[in-house]
Structures are given as C-alpha cells and as structure tokens.
C-alpha cells in the first residue's frame, strides 16, 4: 500500500461548463480508519449530472462543496482494513467515497456488493443509484400502463437508457430523445426502443414527436429540460404524467434561462409534473435492486458502460458526460 | 312572455383583452321546447375566466365558439315550460344556457336547484362550479394537512375566496394574493385569511412571501400564473403540491409569454404541479355540494357576489372580471 493518497479536489468554482482547471490532483497522507470506520481502495468512480450542483457550493439535496474539498461522488471499491464488523478486508463495497484512490468512511454508510451479482461497476449503474432512479421514477412517479407512450430525454445516458427498457418491460412504447446518430442507433438497435430521434439534427421537434407519438405523450421522463421539454409539453396526452429527474441542459447556465410558459397546457391535459429524488424511495431500495438484478440476469436490461481510465482523468470524464459525449453510464476506472 | 328573445353573441374574436364591441346584443324569435326539452327564463348569468378560451374559437376542454354564436356560460333560471318529467314550470334549474334571456335545453342537462338551500345565485358560486372547483381542487389535488401553509392566487375571486376558507376549515394557514387593498381587506377581515398581499403594490414578491410564509409554501392553488406563480414557485416547501386551476394572467396574451424555467426547483423540493378540471370529479359532485352546503349554512364559508344588472351588461361584467375588478363571484342579473 502506498504511503500517499491521490485525490481530486475542487480548485475553482466552475462558471458555465466546468473546465479541467477547476479541479486539482493532490497528494495527501494515507488515511487511517478509526473506530467503526473502514478503509476502502477505489475501483470505479461514478460521475453523474447531479454532481454539477455540488460544485456551485450551494447545498440543495446534495451538499455543496467548499473549495479545496475532495469531489464527492459514488464509488465502488475493495475493503483494505475494517473496524466495522459488517465489512471485512477483501469485500466489495459501494458508498459516497469521492474522487480519491483511498477513502475512509463509517462502515454503516457502506453497502456490501456481491461480486457474483454482476460486474462490480454495476453497483454504480443498473444495481445502484441510476438503476433505482429509473425504476422508482418511472414506476412510482409516472405509473405507466401497458400500451402507453413513454418519452425519455437524455435517453442514452445511465438513467434514460434504463427508463426506456423498463417501459418496454411494462409493455409501453418507448421513445428516446438523444444527442447523436450513434446514440439513436444504440437506443433502437441495441436497447429495443420503439423510436428515437437526434435532437441536434432535428429542426422541427413538434413534427418529429407527432410522428413518433401519434396519440400524444402519456409519460415523459425528463432528464434534460430546456427546449426539448418545451416541445414535449406541447405534445402531452390527457392525464399525462411527467417525472422531472434531471435538467442537465440548465446545470451550466450562468444566468437562469427563460422559456415559454405552459401551465395552461397542464389544465387542458389534466396533467401532472412531479420532481423527485431517488432518496424518497430509500425504504424500498432492496425491492428495487432485487427486481433490477432479475431483469439484468434475464438480459431484459441491456447496458453499456463508458469507462475512462485513471483517477487523474475523472474531471475529463465528468466534463464529457456533461457535454453528452458518453453512451450509457460514464465511469472512471481507478487502480488495478 | 315576450315574443322575442334577447341574446349576446360573439361579434368578433377578441385580440388581447376583450372589448364590448366584440359582443353584440341581438333579438331572435322566442325558442320553443321540443321533446325532452325545457324552456328556461334566465335569472343570473355566470361570467368565469375559463370562458375567455371559448372566444378564441379553439376547443380545448371548453368548446370554442363560432362567430355569431350565443356566448355559452352557466345560468340559473326558472322553468317556463317543460317537456321533461324531471322539471316543472316554476322550478329553479342551472345549466349551460348562455347569455340570453330565454333558452331551451334538454332536461337531462339541467340541474334542479333547491331555493331553500340559499340564494339561487349560489348555484353559480358556492353550490356550483366555482365551489366544486375550490373543493376538489384543494382537497383532492393538493391534499392539505393541518398546519400547512396554503397560498392562493386570484384569492378574492370566486374560486380563490373559497379555497382560502376551505384551507382554514382544514386548519391550514391561508395566504391570499390579490390585486387591490380592498381585496386584501376583504380576505383578511371578512374571510379570515391569515395573511394576504396586494401584488399591484408589492415590489418584492419574494420578501413578502418569505414574511407571510416563513416555512415555505406547502400548497399553492394557482388561478393566475405569470410572474406571481414564478415568485411562489421559488418559495415552495419540500413536498409542495401545486394545483393549476387557472392562468388568468395569460388568457389575453397575444403572443405566448415566456418566464424563468423552474423545473429544477421541483426536483430540489420533490414537488408536484398538477393541472385539473372540475369535471374530473363529476362522479362526486353530490358529495361536494352536500359538504359545501353544510359549511355555507354554518357560515364557515362566507361569500360575496358582485352583481351587474341587465343582460346587455354581460360583456362589461365579463371584461371587468378579466380585469380583476370584481370582489367575490361576478354575476349578471337578468330579468326580474
């Protein structure tokens, strides 16, 4: 074991899209676990859209970071030393350990991962926060019925790619909105979406939505916001349900964006728009993981990881995810 | 009985705020009831914000009107002649009879009104569509709990004034937003609202909402939309519920208005925004009317009518209601 730890810290508050210079690679003394604590060696780091909010320093549902702090995010790794009876050296665990090679955390905040259940990285994806977000967001917030049309934005991302597939499992029509031809092919050819379009090459969103959703949009799972959501809102069906999961198009806005008002449309369509956090469903995570695991084993949930190698490249991985360059779950592989 | 009927028809499609010249007073032959039909003499006409949509000619939930058509709206009146066994001459009935002195309608579309239950005009207010809208919109869409803060816009109007009082009955704090000092006094001194402010004389809505709702807004019942709603959305509490009942600030817009995007706020607050139509609850209207009637008799629902006299003044009454000049329910008294 090395004597020094390597960490990525917040060097500057990003203005607009984060730059690599907003982050700093630092060395620090190797941490030692105290009572009830566990030392974990990171294997995979998760980079997720919501983490952009932490960098602003404002605490909403996720804690804002101070300058100089290690970037906080989900990590899967291997227990090196444990002072908690729930975990033993060699175990695989998942927790909010941040962008660093080694981390110490209270054992009670770590989740045991069964390496036999699938690749350990899936603890950050299908069998982790994105999977649970897709599962509870779609099934509990939107309550889709067989035969309904489900539209998802950010469809080729970690959450979106699962939302469309779960919609299909529930016998809905799944329509994806994504940002490249390759993503559209991924959705329709690999994941079985019923339709998809590339918003960067579509000029008339309304016409495209009408073509792909001739009976209107019954369920809209929104990861993106902005002009894409404006277009979908104009095309919702009566009794539509909209889950607001993310608004990645707005996260780097320097000034708050404006857009057309559409609350009248909610009256006309008797429709509901609901924001949610996966943590609302914490009491039911085990049920969700059991179902997701079953679907994964049955190959009814197909997934793709987009892996960048090396802790030092975590900022770059985070930026490319915010730029929409990833297909599937963006991860950073650390160590061996 | 006269040989001619007087009616108000749509002379021109309003652009922006309707003008009196958009309407025309016409005479037509007295209608005669056919099989199953009833001839009704109007006593009170209802003018309601949603009727603005009809004038545009576009059918959403309410049918758009053709040029030359009689303006469609709720009416309470007296049966003159009936070919339907459910109704007899002399009965008081309510229905969508429009702006005219006499109307013929199928008996099955008319509701019998008990004159002993209260003034017959209440069939267009507390014991009619506005009452049911306030009742089901607040209780079913927002599900307020005792101790919560309920904010209502358009608070001195027909629906808003009841929403605040029902919130009080359910032991919530009721805060009203209205457009004059007189309305604010009406809300706080006559109706028992816990607080209210005049948006026309308030420059900093955020500060005012913070003062009146120190723990945030748990429930927002929106009749207005626009900048008022923008301000409330920034101040919602965790798990807030927003019922979108009307958007009167937008009804006369010639170009769609834009405003700040706030879907991220729904995520942070895990909040829900739901549009509704009172017709969703049609199967439960009897229950609602029974409860509203009880509260009215117990004087727990106080109400005020704003009555304009004469069919010929219906357009003026409609315009003053759209301009927010009424306090309480805007009505037009017709005949004797």
Distance CA B321, CA B313 (A): 12
Confidence of residue A71 (pLDDT cuts 50, 70, 90): very high
Confidence of residue A61 (pLDDT cuts 50, 70, 90): confident
Q: What is the pLDDT of residue A109?
A: 97
Pick from A260, A50, A169, A191: nearest CA to A178: A191
pTM: 0.95
A61, A226, A259 ranked by CB distance to B258: nearest: A259
- The mean pLDDT of A295-321, rounded to a whole number, is 96
Looking at the fold, whether A102 and A144 belong to one and the same domain comes out as no
Mean of per-residue pLDDT scores for chain A: 96
Mean of per-residue pLDDT scores for chain B: 96
B222, B256, B269 ranked by CB distance to A275: nearest: B269
Q: Is the residue at B70 inside a domain? A: yes
Looking at the fold, whether A133 and A223 belong to one and the same domain comes out as yes
- The mean pLDDT of B90-94, rounded to a whole number, is 98
CB within 8 Å of B253: residues ≥ 6 apart: B16
pLDDT tens, B250-305?
Answer: 998 888 899 999 999 999 999 999 999 999 999 999 999 999 999 999 999 999 99
Q: What is the pLDDT of residue B118?
A: 87
Confidence of residue A58 (pLDDT cuts 50, 70, 90): confident
pLDDT tens, A229-263?
Answer: 999 999 999 999 999 999 999 998 888 899 999 99
Pick from A164, A123, A157: nearest CA to A246: A157
Which domain range does residue A318 map to? 4-122+304-333
- The mean pLDDT of A314-325, rounded to a whole number, is 96
Looking at the fold, whether B228 and B171 belong to one and the same domain comes out as yes
Please indicate whether residue B113 or residue A60 has the higher confidence score (pLDDT): B113
Q: What is the pLDDT of residue A118?
A: 87
The pLDDT of residue A314 is above 70: yes
Pairing mode, if any, of strands A4-10 and A23-29?
A: antiparallel
Q: Is the residue at A265 inside a domain? A: yes
Looking at the fold, whether A177 and A91 belong to one and the same domain comes out as no
Q: Is the residue at A204 inside a domain? A: yes
Q: What is the pLDDT of residue B336?
A: 67
Q: Is the residue at A80 inside a domain? A: yes
Distance CA A97, CA A2 (A): 18
Contact status, residue A87 vs residue A79, Cβ threshold 8 Å: yes
- The mean pLDDT of A121-136, rounded to a whole number, is 97
Q: Is the residue at B328 inside a domain? A: yes
Q: Is the residue at A299 inside a domain? A: no
Distance CA A109, CA A103 (A): 12
Pinpoint the alpha helices (H) of A234-313: 263-269, 285-297
CATH code for position A274? 3.40.50.720
Chain B: closest CA distance from residue A247 (Å): 6
Looking at the fold, whether B92 and B145 belong to one and the same domain comes out as no
- The mean pLDDT of A320-329, rounded to a whole number, is 94
B277 and A267 in contact by Cβ < 8 A? yes
Q: Is the residue at A284 inside a domain? A: no
- The mean pLDDT of A10-27, rounded to a whole number, is 97
CATH code for position B55? 3.90.180.10
Q: Which residues of B touch A (CB under 8 A)?
A: 60-61, 222, 225-226, 229, 244-247, 250, 256-261, 263-277, 280
DSSP H or E segment with residue A9? strand A4-10
Q: Which of A262, A279, A296 is the last residue of a domain?
A: A279
Beta bridge partners of B330: B306
Looking at the fold, whether B118 and B134 belong to one and the same domain comes out as no
Edge to edge, what strands does the sheet with B272-275 contain? A195-198, A173-178, A149-153, A217-222, A236-244, A272-275, B272-275, B236-244, B217-222, B149-153, B173-178, B195-198
pLDDT tens, B205-232?
Answer: 999 999 999 999 999 999 999 999 999 9
Total domains present in chain B: 2
pLDDT tens, B138-171?
Answer: 999 999 999 999 999 999 999 999 999 999 999 9
Mutant choice from A154, A267, A277 vs B, greatest count of B C-beta within 10 A: A267
Q: Which residue has the tokens 């306030």?
A: B134
B245, B257, B267 ranked by CB distance to A261: nearest: B257
Distance CA B55, CA B24 (A): 13
The pLDDT of residue B52 is above 80: yes
Looking at the fold, whether A275 and A157 belong to one and the same domain comes out as yes
**Which of A191-195, A267-271, B88-92, B251-255 is predicted with the least confidence, judged by mean pLDDT?**
B251-255
The pLDDT of residue B73 is above 70: yes
The pLDDT of residue B2 is above 90: no
Looking at the fold, whether A54 and A152 belong to one and the same domain comes out as no
């Amino acid at each position: 074991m090395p004597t020094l730890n390597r960490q990525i810290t917040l060097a500057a508050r990003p203005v607009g899209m984060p730059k690599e210079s907003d982050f700093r690679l630092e060395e620090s003394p190797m941490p030692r676990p105290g009572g009830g604590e566990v030392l974990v060696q990171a294997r995979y780091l998760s980079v997720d859209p919501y983490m952009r909010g932490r960098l602003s320093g404002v605490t909403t549902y996720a804690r804002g970071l101070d300058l100089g702090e290690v970037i906080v995010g989900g990590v899967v790794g291997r227990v090196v030393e444990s002072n908690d009876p729930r975990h033993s050296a060699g175990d695989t665990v998942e927790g909010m350990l941040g962008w660093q090679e080694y981390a110490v955390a209270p054992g009670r905040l770590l989740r045991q991962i069964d390496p036999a259940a699938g690749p350990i990285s899936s603890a950050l994806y299908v069998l982790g926060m994105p999977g649970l977000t897709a599962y509870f967001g779609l099934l509990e917030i939107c309550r889709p019925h067989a035969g309904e049309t489900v539209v998802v934005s950010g469809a080729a991302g970690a959450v979106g790619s699962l939302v469309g597939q779960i919609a299909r499992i529930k016998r809905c029509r799944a329509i994806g909105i994504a940002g490249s031809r390759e993503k559209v092919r991924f959705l329709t050819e690999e994941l079985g979406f019923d339709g998809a379009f590339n918003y960067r090459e579509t000029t008339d969103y309304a016409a495209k939505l009408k073509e792909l959703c001739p009976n209107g949009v019954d369920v809209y799972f929104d990861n993106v916001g902005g002009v894409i959501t404006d277009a979908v809102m104009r095309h919702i069906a009566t009794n539509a349900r909209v889950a607001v999961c993310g608004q990645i198009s707005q996260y780097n806005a320097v000034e708050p964006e404006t857009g057309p008002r559409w609350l009248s449309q909610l009256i006309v369509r008797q429709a509901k728009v609901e924001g949610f956090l996966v943590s609302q469903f914490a009491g039911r995570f085990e049920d969700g993981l059991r179902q997701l695991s079953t679907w994964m084993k049955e190959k009814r949930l197909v997934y793709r990881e987009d892996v960048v190698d090396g802790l030092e490249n975590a900022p770059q991985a985070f930026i490319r995810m915010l730029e929409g360059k990833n297909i599937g779950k963006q991860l950073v592989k650390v160590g061996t």
